[in-house]
Structure 1
Amino acid sequence: MRAVVVTEFGGPEAVEIVESAVPEPGARQVRIKVAASALNPVDAGVREGVFGGAGKQVGLGWDVAGTVDAVGPAAAWSVGDQVVALDHGMVKPLGAHAEYVVVDTDAVAKAPVTADAAHAATLPLNALTAVQALDLLELAPGQSLLVTGAAGAVGGYAVQLAAHRGIAVTALARQGDEELVRSLGADRFVAEGEAAGFDAVLDAAVLGEPALAWVRDGGAYVGVIPQAHPASERGVRTTSVAVAADGARLADLVRLVDEGVLTLRVAETYPLEEAAKAHARLAEGGVRGRLVLVP
């Protein structure tokens, strides 16, 4: 099978397509024939060597939408099931940017019935990050939340999920994104420098200390890069989300997609062999929605 990997770290030019053996599922695992897989900023970080793995072949890709193709013992899924999954892991020989991927059975959920594979592939990593970050904030209905980077993939899901919970959401994004973030459910829109006094901040834009300053005394801050959150001050509780594969939670998110609560956004699709081109587009910035690779 074809798979997207890096063997030397660098820019988009480091991305390679290699031939690899089709992986076999073990106990409580399934093999998915990949129909689509989203490209995320974490893939660029892996490509650049941020997470280590020098001297090894490192596979790229975390998100997958496709069809169960083979099952291991006690896998709890059937061949032919249409599914989505999170293929979690920073440094692994093969990732979801491939024709087939093996994942643990409890990382899998049935795919949305209202979306095609390309759109479904934008859900697992970003929506799980958003919902797990919101859980860390422990906000009650009516409390105020500022989402930075609200027009991005994680930020957009966070806006929609928080609004669905009855939280008063303010979106921080570029001026040109106001209409978009309001359509996602933001009560208010602000540009940088205009925000202050929120019960909590979900810092999807990775602003760090400037975003912490917008939290009221005794509030809460959550970042989206593990262990990279600023230190607590003014009694503000600070933490960061380390996304975890969770098929049951992913199934809840799929249900919200099918109910129209969550919007799946695809910016562009690329054939698998143009993975380097997709990485170059991601590096340019300004992408609204996700770039998706299609084997």
Structure 2
Amino acid sequence: MRAILYTAPGNVALAEVPEPQPGAGQVRIRVTAATVNPADVGTVGGYLAAAGLMPGFDDDGAREAFGLGWDVAGTVEAVGTGVTRLKVGDAVIGLNDRLDIDLGTHADLAVLDESAVARAPRTVDAAHAATIPLNGLTALQALDHLALAPGSTLLVTGAAGALGGYAVELAAQRGLRVVATSSAADEDLVRSLGAEHFVPRGEHLGDAVRALVPGGVDGAVDAAALGTQTLEAVRSGGAFAAVLGGDPVPVPLRGIRVTNVWIRADATQLEHLSALVDAGRLTPRVAETIPLSEAAKAYDRQAKGGLRGRLVLVP
């Protein structure tokens, strides 16, 4: 089978590898679609190794190559012992939340723990379903960390992106009053997702937000990793969620509770997100589908940014 591997800093390779076998508590998924995320680009660029989030090639005991890919949508093809919730033939979505691995989801087949896999939504195709796990879970878990009461104000940066868009929708459903910032051309989009206020990118964020919400917003999901610019828009004693491991995560000035949200796979939360999609309350967006064999092209496109939705690799 084919898989996309990280074989050296800056290098993405399509390789033939043995078919993986599911162990106890695991399922093997025939991949229909797998998204490319900023975390994949960060892996290939060596940034995650430099930050100590995964081994580097020069570390003792390091692998010769690392698997790439977090998100997956596909069909369960085999199950290991102890798997009870899923069965062969189920259409599923899942999240690989590990970095030091031989194979990720950018492959013909992927093996994940059952606890990282949920049934896919029925109302969208696999390409759209594949955009849900990493970005949907990150947005959901960031909002859980902020723990804002209904009626509170929330700033979402990068609100037109895949992660930011999910954060706007999920926040609005919790009764939060969302202030969104993105390119001026995206205002209609982010308002349609549930934003009450909009600040065009390029304005001084702290001043612009405080003109709309005197004293500052109660919390922020910093999907664009603007760091201290976003913190300036948060009221004293408020809450701030960094979701991309911002460089660096802001110092908790003015008593602001700063949390760096480290994503985790969670089948129960994935089932919830799938149900929201089927109910028409969560909007997956695909920028483009690209053959698995052209993964390097997708990585280059992702690195340039400016996407509305996710690039999706299709085996």
After superposition, residues 64-143 of structure 1 pair within 5 angstroms as 64-76=72-84, 77-143=86-152
Give % identity: 55
Q: Distance in 2 between matches of 1:286 and 1:243?
A: 23
Structure 2 spans left out of the alignment, 5+ residues: 50-54, 58-63, 211-215
After superposition, residues 1-295 of structure 1 pair within 5 angstroms as 1-10=1-10, 14-52=11-49, 53-55=55-57, 56-76=64-84, 77-191=86-200, 192-193=203-204, 194-196=208-210, 197-226=216-245, 228-295=248-315
Return the offset for 1:195.
1.4
User: How many residues matched?
Assistant: 292
Q: Is contact 1:178–1:189 with CA below 8 Å preserved after alignment?
A: yes
Q: Which amino acid aligns with 1:215?
A: V
User: Which residue number in structure 1 is paired with residue 61 of structure 2?
Assistant: none
Q: Distance in 2 between matches of 1:43 and 1:89?
A: 12
Of 1-10 and 53-62, more deviation after overlay is shown by 53-62
Q: Is contact 1:51–1:90 with CA below 8 Å preserved after alignment?
A: no
SS at match of 1:15: strand
User: Which residue number in structure 1 is paired with residue 52 of structure 2?
Assistant: none
Return the offset for 1:225.
2.8
Return the offset for 1:117.
0.4
Q: 1:5-51 deviations in whole A, cap 9, x for unaligned?
A: 121111xxx21100001100000000000000000000000111122
Return the offset for 1:226.
4.0
Q: 1:94-120 deviations in whole A, cap 9, x for unaligned?
A: 110000000000111000000100000
Q: Distance in 2 between matches of 1:54 and 1:239?
A: 26
Q: Is contact 1:62–1:125 with CA below 8 Å preserved after alignment?
A: yes
Q: Which amino acid aligns with 2:73?
A: A
Q: Distance in 2 between matches of 1:90 and 1:41?
A: 14
Q: Is contact 1:222–1:229 with CA below 8 Å preserved after alignment?
A: no
Q: Distance in 2 between matches of 1:49 and 1:91?
A: 13
Q: Is contact 1:8–1:54 with CA below 8 Å preserved after alignment?
A: no
SS at match of 2:47: coil
- Say what the alpha-carbon RMSD is for the aligned residues: 1.1
Q: Which amino acid aligns with 1:43?
A: D
Q: Is contact 1:266–1:289 with CA below 8 Å preserved after alignment?
A: yes
Q: Is contact 1:141–1:166 with CA below 8 Å preserved after alignment?
A: yes
SS at match of 1:134: helix
SS at match of 1:243: coil
Return the offset for 1:59.
1.1
Q: 1:45-99 deviations in whole A, cap 9, x for unaligned?
A: 0111122243320111000000000000011211101100001112321110000
Q: Is contact 1:68–1:78 with CA below 8 Å preserved after alignment?
A: yes
Q: Which amino acid aligns with 1:187?
A: E
Of 219-228 and 253-262, more deviation after overlay is shown by 219-228
Q: Distance in 2 between matches of 1:60 and 1:181?
A: 30
Normalising by structure 1, we get a TM-score of: 0.97
Q: Distance in 2 between matches of 1:240 and 1:264?
A: 24
Return the offset for 1:284.
2.3
Of 154-163 and 220-229, more deviation after overlay is shown by 220-229
Q: 1:126-165 deviations in whole A, cap 9, x for unaligned?
A: 0000000000101111000000110111110000000011
Return the offset for 1:279.
1.1
Q: Distance in 2 between matches of 1:60 and 1:36?
A: 14
SS at match of 1:288: coil
Q: Is contact 1:46–1:91 with CA below 8 Å preserved after alignment?
A: no
Structure 1 spans left out of the alignment, 5+ residues: none
Q: Distance in 2 between matches of 1:282 and 1:250?
A: 24
